[in-house]
Structure 1
Amino acid sequence: MPQVFDVVRVGFGPSNLGLAIALAEQPGGGAVEARFVERQERFGWHRGMLL
């Protein structure tokens, strides 16, 4: 039987990072089944940009 999620998000940029933190900190922690899918193996903030 396929697994059903409440939230599925693509990419792990600032908005999804914020959402992941909000979901983790909610009362009852873990009440929402969420998955985040990211193409990159590791985090890199604005990779390749000269800031």
Structure 2
Amino acid sequence: MTVSWRKSSYSGNSGGDCVELRVGLGAVRDSKNARVVLEVPSARLVAFLNAVKRG
């Protein structure tokens, strides 16, 4: 099974300081250390992202 990650649009094109989300699952990682993955229930991740968007 191939895992798809999505890079934050705020990370820029130069690479390096990127936050990535695993599409369809509740997982976040730092592209500089992709072996470390924070997994959370998808509903909690969505709630967190919505709160961040609201400021």
Q: TM-score range by the shorter chain?
A: 0.3 to 0.5
**Structure with greater proportional helix content:** 2
TM-score (norm. length: structure 1): 0.34
Which fold has the larger relative contact order, with Cα–Cα distance below 8 Å and residues 6 or more apart in sequence? 1
**Structure with greater proportional strand content:** 2
TM-score (norm. length: structure 2): 0.31
